[in-house]
Structure 1
């Protein structure tokens, strides 16, 4: 069985205000019921990201809060699963 060293914190690109990004050290989340925790191996910029950074979705109240962790185009590997997860196991490769 694979063992995954899950750190307490991780780096995250955060949008702290419109037109202001900061690299932050944040706590690694723990997967809740029905959730998985992924170690992200790569991330890309989507066409919607620059528009969001510059306030292009203010009318939709997006992002819903600041700081907001960026990066929704990603690939990685599951390292932990929450209670009730049956379709995924640590080690599975995933993308979103």
Structure 2
């Protein structure tokens, strides 16, 4: 885990950075990026679910999870979800 406390983690943000790439960021309750990952994929596999599965795997590595029904769209190519400690 990075050098932050688990209690500071608030949300995971999933944002399309470019064609074939989603940026995954754990954001603290004060808005500071605390962990960052990248999900690369083949454009033919962009099914709208793949990036959320990648985000779930990413946050699991930090000891968190999120509920699928809690995911909020934030623009055409961005999503966020509140984190729950695993």
TM-score of the two chains, using structure 1 as the length reference? 0.24
TM-score of the two chains, using structure 2 as the length reference? 0.25
**Structure of higher CA gyration radius:** 1
